[in-house]
Structure 1
Amino acid sequence: MSKIEQNKEKKRLAILKAAKDIFLAEGYVQTSMDRVASEAKMTKQTLYRYFSSKDVLFEATLRQMGSQTDDKLVVHLQQEDTRQALVGFAKDFVAFHLSNEHIATFKLLIAEGSKSPELVSRFMEVGPDDTDRVLMQFFNDRFNIEEPKTKINLWLGMVMSIRDGVLMGMPAPTEQEIEAHVEASTDLLLAALA
């Protein structure tokens, strides 16, 4: 990568970091391109050279945030022991969804969703999410289920129910509470599929 390309990438990343911080703190509607440019320490004209609108910037921000999770999660699914593979995946899945950034993103989408429903739709469509494909393949291979989507969704729903209190401002569960919850949810899935 040439020096010019490195500088362009550095500016693009600075914009995305500033945008993420402001979107999560102030919400989509309240965020202005002026504020993002100021936070990224560049002119508004420079910002518009990289991102032509707030919509484009928001989508790019969501894509970048979404791209930071897949590899770590799916590595667990390569384990031979099915239960260990699912428990390892689920623990990291819950940990990601309990991160301050993810909780703030979820709250942003809830708060802004009634004013701008297209934001939620865009968030759900963002990025190439390989996790769904890998989970589907795992369930196909391990359980010989041709259409495992419903079973995956039910299992993840059980696993993610531990997040509900955090979304309402309660303290996050401890690592031991998460592990016990994930194991119980996974054991229930495995019993149902046996």
Structure 2
Amino acid sequence: MTRETSAYHRGVAAANRALILEAAAALFLKSGYDRTSLAKVAEAAGVSKATLFKQFPTKASLFEATVLAAGATTDGEFEAPAPGDFRAGLVAVGLAYADILRRPRIEELLRTIIAEAPRFPELRERTFDFGTLPVLRTLHRYLISETEAEAARVDDPDAAAAQFLGMIATVVFWPRLVHGNWSLSEDDVRHVVEDAAETMVARYARTHEARGLAGG
């Protein structure tokens, strides 16, 4: 009975969280950070203020969760490619990341932070990952798996992951944030990702000769 009750309450909490985040995103984008209150979010989500405060005690924590939710994958976690083809695996992860960066809400929420942060210290103090965390975790696991398979040698997966995603964001995301008319076609995006993957392969891939020497 306890387990069933616990599972039920977890389900209710998850459903309430989804309602809260959806309502928060709509209000933050419509009214901005300043004019969006936790009480208004609770009303729009159809939950009590106590329910909202239990999950999000501050507006800054709710905004951070809203940003991360906007960049989450539909299944919650992007699966790491199987090791064996270093370039193809990087391209797969890179395209998934580019897809996240091109979502309208990611851009709009970041604009809100840039506009509002100077007036709200609590925003400046938060660490916003803008939906990259699931992809960073996936890329981190993938780089380790390729290193273990001796297809690559990545001594610092965190730094390598940041380098790879940074090469993509520099072209796919940041110019669009600054220049409203910046646009890339699907082919352009793939080209950016493939170029970044080639750079990573040149830097980290192990040649057949190197693998043979390591094995010997």
Counterpart check, 1:154 vs 2:159: no
The residue that corresponds to 2:196 in the other structure is 185
State the alpha-carbon separation in 1 of the partners of residues 157 and 140 from structure 2: 11
The residue that corresponds to 2:35 in the other structure is 30
Moved more, 175-184 or 151-160: 151-160
Equivalent residue in structure 1 for 2:187, among 167, 176, 182? 176
Counterpart check, 1:122 vs 2:132: no
Moved more, 95-104 or 7-16: 7-16
- Cα displacement string for residues 95-114 of structure 1 (whole angstroms, at most 9, x for unaligned residues): 11111121122222222232
Contact 2:80 2:138 in 1 (8 A): no
Equivalent residue in structure 2 for 1:108, among 94, 108, 112? 112
Query: Measured at CA, do residues 52 and 156 of structure 1 come closer, stay the same or move farther in structure 2, by a change above 3 Å?
Result: closer
The residue that corresponds to 2:213 in the other structure is none
Counterpart check, 1:164 vs 2:171: no
Equivalent residue in structure 2 for 1:134, among 126, 129, 141? 141
The residue that corresponds to 1:81 in the other structure is 85
Moved more, 168-177 or 57-66: 57-66
* Residues matched between the structures, number: 192
State the alpha-carbon separation in 2 of the partners of residues 47 and 145 from structure 1: 42
State the alpha-carbon separation in 2 of the partners of residues 98 and 15 from structure 1: 23
State the alpha-carbon separation in 2 of the partners of residues 85 and 8 from structure 1: 36
State the alpha-carbon separation in 2 of the partners of residues 153 and 10 from structure 1: 33
State the alpha-carbon separation in 2 of the partners of residues 54 and 187 from structure 1: 42
State the alpha-carbon separation in 1 of the partners of residues 106 and 24 from structure 2: 15
Structure 1 unpaired stretches of 5+? none
Moved more, 82-91 or 101-110: 101-110
- Cα displacement string for residues 29-62 of structure 1 (whole angstroms, at most 9, x for unaligned residues): 3311232133223454554455444244334434
The residue that corresponds to 1:54 in the other structure is 59
Query: Measured at CA, do residues 54 and 156 of structure 1 come closer, stay the same or move farther in structure 2, by a change above 3 Å?
Result: closer
Structure 2 unpaired stretches of 5+? 206-216
Contact 1:98 1:172 in 2 (8 A): no
State the alpha-carbon separation in 2 of the partners of residues 50 and 29 from structure 1: 20
Contact 2:139 2:161 in 1 (8 A): no
When you count helix as a share of all residues, which structure comes out higher?
1
AA paired with 1:166?
A: R
State the alpha-carbon separation in 1 of the partners of residues 184 and 163 from structure 2: 21
State the alpha-carbon separation in 2 of the partners of residues 88 and 29 from structure 1: 38
Moved more, 164-173 or 135-144: 135-144
1:87 Cα offset (Å): 0.8
Larger Rg: 2
1:186 Cα offset (Å): 1.6
State the alpha-carbon separation in 2 of the partners of residues 13 and 80 from structure 1: 37
1:179 Cα offset (Å): 0.6
State the alpha-carbon separation in 1 of the partners of residues 92 and 162 from structure 2: 17
State the alpha-carbon separation in 1 of the partners of residues 107 and 166 from structure 2: 16
| Matched-pair identity in % | 26
Aligned-residue CA RMSD (Å): 3.3
Contact 1:140 1:148 in 2 (8 A): no
